[in-house]
Amino acid sequence: MKVNDAISGGFFVLFAALVFYLTRDFRVMPGQNYGAAFFPRTIAGAMAVLGLVMVFQGVRNRGTEPWATAFDWIGSPRLVANFLLIVGILVFYILLSDWLGFPIAGFVCIFSMLMWLRGPGHWLGSLALSIAVVVALQYAFGEVLRVPLPWGLLQDYRW
């Protein structure tokens, strides 16, 4: 779906206003000239300015471009299935990752996507790749970036 830039720009401006509103209670850091709201508000300001530019461009091109056009891939059942698979995997991960844990939920998500996209003939490679990616991500987030991912059912086996 292609949406006119005026609509997209309007959403950017509204989102920037929301960020400004939600950062109103961020505290100023002692000993610093700026607080925790500085960077979100700087980004929100840039989004608002660029959103306004998009609104003006969209309004200017309104006569030559429609407000919205449908996706070209809607007519392809395979591409629609790809889209629905990604949405389903995201919903699965959001709902069950705390309980299952990242290693299990991440493996299910990656393995199911690889099986769908590569086909069942590559199941062994998809299995190995899924395990490698989950272990690498768990290590990268847990050890390198110090952002703990949920262990869920594997809590007793965490490293």
64-70 long-range Cβ contacts below 8 angstroms, 24+ apart: 65/4, 66/4, 67/3, 67/4, 67/6, 67/7, 68/1, 68/2, 68/3, 68/4, 68/7, 69/1, 69/2, 70/1
What's this model's pTM, rounded to 2 decimal places? 0.62
Please state, in angstroms and rounded to a whole number, the distance separating the CA atoms of residues 42 and 119.
45
pLDDT of residue 34: 79
What is the predicted pLDDT for the residue at 53?
96
CB 2 within 8 A of CB 73: no
Query: Residue 70: its pLDDT value, please?
Result: 77
Q: Which two tokens stand for residue 156?
A: 């007793």
| Helical segments of the chain, H only | 5-22, 38-60, 77-100, 102-118, 123-139
Return averaged pLDDT per consecutive 10 residues of the chain, 159 residues in all: 88 96 86 84 96 93 80 85 95 95 96 94 96 95 86 85
Residue 136 confidence (pLDDT): 96
Note the pLDDT of residue 40: 93
Q: How far apart are CA 51 and CA 23, in angstroms?
A: 19
Other Cβ atoms within 10 Å of 95 Cβ, number? 11
Q: What is the largest CA-CA distance in the chain?
A: 62
The pLDDT of residue 4 is 87
> Can you read off the two tokens belonging to residue 28?
């100023």
